[in-house]
């Protein structure tokens, strides 16, 4: 009788063990998508591809020009919560009325507390553009940067730009070329880990880490003298790539978006320093912010073409000292 009972119990246990084993096997066979893929899909679905960080779905570009005249200033500043990320000393010497001086590391906290769209302000517009891109990727899609920074607001605060265009680094340099662009490569995706399987959560953490790390830049001098140390992307139109000339060996990956996989033209290797350069260093700052969040070891070339070759005859816009000069807008102390 005892043996019969044990036999019957065994018959009941065998299916239970089988089903439990199957359940565990199914769980083991479930493979989550890579963190990069989850974040990429989230960015595309939520209109935060790289081109949509540059210009949001409402048509607002990442940068906005200062008002034309002093009379236009009150209406201009009324639209924004103005966050000035310059040093305390520079802020005290002269700033836009109503601006708040903050540390770069506090931009996300201040963005969350803002009651109006944020206007980021720095010395030249470059760090502010980097901050703007990170703010937009974090969900503050109407954030903008002041074009040219405080250098464009008033002649007394224009020193950072005025001091960077006197030396023509690229003119006559052996590493400056007018040839065609090399054929773009096709690389695999960047790779990083996350404890989350939610694309939005992964993105926010990546942005927070980028804010903590700060703006990553390289000088035109270093890239021009050592181009093989970098994976260089010239963010110009095809006509300007040859018309302006370019750093020898620079690729031209434009468009540069997730949706069309053109981002795969960039090298995600941990030892590949991806440097982007544009005309002013402002667009490249935005691109660099996006790339760092995506997992690239990315850098922005400071002052762009203006720093490399400001007198280049191909300039028709965004040339500091020509079509772009400091205005005479009011400062407060």
Does the residue 323 lie in any domain? no
The CATH code of the domain that includes 187 is 3.40.250.10
| Structure tokens, 42 | 């989230």
Q: Are residues 139 and 240 in the same domain?
A: no
Instruction: Say yes or no to pLDDT of 113 above 90.
Output: yes
Instruction: Say yes or no to pLDDT of 110 above 80.
Output: yes
Does the residue 10 lie in any domain? no
* H or E stretch at 30: none
Q: Are residues 101 and 180 in the same domain?
A: no
Choose the catalytic residue: 22, 122, 129, 278. 122
Q: Are residues 297 and 204 in the same domain?
A: yes
Does the residue 12 lie in any domain? no
Q: Are residues 147 and 251 in the same domain?
A: no
Q: What is the pLDDT of residue 285?
A: 98
Q: Are residues 199 and 113 in the same domain?
A: no
Q: Are residues 105 and 207 in the same domain?
A: no
Calpha distance 37→42 (Å, rounded): 8
Q: Are residues 56 and 122 in the same domain?
A: yes
Q: What is the pLDDT of residue 26?
A: 40
Higher-confidence residue: 23 or 163? 163
| Structure tokens, 247 | 């750093």
CA-atom Rg of the chain in angstroms: 25
Handedness of CA 288, 292, 296, 300 (dihedral sign): positive
Calpha distance 280→124 (Å, rounded): 9
122 flagged as catalytic: yes
**What are 35-64's pLDDT values in tens digits?**
999 999 999 999 999 999 999 999 999 999
Mean pLDDT of the chain: 91
Does the residue 315 lie in any domain? no
Range of the domain at 249: 176-309
- Spell out the residues 6+ positions from residue 108 whose beta carbon is closer than 8 angstroms to its own: 134, 135, 138, 207, 208, 211
Cα separation of the two ends of the chain: 98
| Structure tokens, 34 | 């890579």
**What are 283-294's pLDDT values in tens digits?**
999 999 999 999
Calpha distance 101→108 (Å, rounded): 14
| Structure tokens, 14 | 């065998």
Q: What is the pLDDT of residue 226?
A: 96
Does the residue 29 lie in any domain? no
Q: Are residues 64 and 126 in the same domain?
A: yes
Instruction: Say yes or no to pLDDT of 217 above 70.
Output: yes
Q: What is the pLDDT of residue 151?
A: 97
Helices (H) and strands (E) in the chain, counts: 13, 11
Q: What is the pLDDT of residue 9?
A: 41
Number of domains in the chain: 2
Q: What is the pLDDT of residue 21?
A: 39
Does the residue 254 lie in any domain? yes
**What are 257-305's pLDDT values in tens digits?**
999 999 999 999 988 999 999 999 999 999 999 999 999 999 999 999 9
Instruction: Say yes or no to pLDDT of 117 above 50.
Output: yes
Does the residue 18 lie in any domain? no
Instruction: Say yes or no to pLDDT of 247 above 60.
Output: yes
Q: Are residues 158 and 187 in the same domain?
A: no
Q: Are residues 184 and 79 in the same domain?
A: no
Instruction: Say yes or no to pLDDT of 14 above 50.
Output: no
Q: What is the pLDDT of residue 164?
A: 84
Task: Report, as an integer, the average pLDDT of 127-137.
Answer: 98
For the beta sheet containing 273-277, the strands, ordered from the edge strand earlier in sequence to the opposite edge, are 217-218, 298-301, 273-277, 230-234
| Structure tokens, 122 | 């720095």
Calpha distance 33→41 (Å, rounded): 10
Does the residue 324 lie in any domain? no
Q: What is the pLDDT of residue 29?
A: 39
**What are 220-240's pLDDT values in tens digits?**
999 999 999 999 999 999 999
Contact 46, 56 (CB under 8 A): no
* H or E stretch at 142: none
Instruction: Say yes or no to pLDDT of 1 above 50.
Output: no
The pLDDT-based confidence of 33 (bands split at 50, 70, 90) is confident
Calpha distance 208→196 (Å, rounded): 15
- Spell out the residues 6+ positions from residue 170 whose beta carbon is closer than 8 angstroms to its own: 176, 220, 224, 245, 247, 308, 309, 312
Domain boundary among 162, 190, 214: 162
């Amino acid at each position: 009788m005892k043996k019969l009972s044990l036999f019957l119990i065994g018959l009941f246990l065998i299916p239970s063990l089988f089903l439990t084993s199957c359940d565990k096997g199914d769980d083991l066979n479930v493979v989550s998508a890579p963190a990069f893929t989850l974040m990429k899909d989230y960015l595309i679905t939520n209109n935060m591809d790289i081109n949509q960080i540059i210009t949001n779905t409402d048509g607002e570009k990442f940068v906005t020009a200062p008002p034309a005249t002093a009379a236009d200033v009150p209406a201009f500043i009324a639209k924004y919560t103005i966050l000035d990320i310059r040093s305390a000393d520079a802020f005290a010497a002269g700033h836009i009325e109503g601006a708040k001086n903050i540390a770069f590391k506090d931009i996300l906290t201040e963005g969350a507390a803002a009651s109006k769209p944020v206007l980021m302000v720095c010395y030249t517009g470059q760090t502010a553009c980097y901050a703007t891109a990170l703010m937009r990727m974090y969900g503050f899609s109407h954030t903008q940067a002041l074009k040219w920074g405080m250098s464009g607001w008033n002649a007394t605060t224009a020193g950072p730009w005025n001091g960077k265009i006197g030396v023509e680094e690229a003119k006559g340099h052996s590493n400056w070329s007018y040839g065609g662009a090399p054929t773009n490569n096709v690389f695999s995706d960047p790779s990083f880990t996350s404890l989350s399987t939610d694309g939005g959560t992964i993105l926010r953490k990546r942005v927070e880490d980028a804010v903590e790390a700060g703006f990553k830049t390289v000088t035109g001098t270093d890239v021009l003298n050592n181009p093989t140390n970098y994976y260089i992307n010239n963010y110009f139109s095809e006509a300007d790539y040859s018309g302006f000339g370019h750093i020898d060996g620079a690729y031209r990956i434009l468009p540069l978006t997730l949706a069309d996989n053109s981002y795969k033209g960039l090298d995600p290797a941990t030892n590949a320093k991806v440097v982007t350069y544009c005309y002013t260093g402002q667009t490249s700052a935005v691109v660099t912010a996006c790339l760092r969040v995506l997992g690239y070891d990315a850098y922005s070339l400071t002052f762009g073409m203006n720093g490399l070759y400001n007198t280049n005859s191909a300039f028709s816009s965004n040339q500091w000292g020509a079509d772009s000069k400091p205005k005479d807008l009011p400062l407060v102390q």
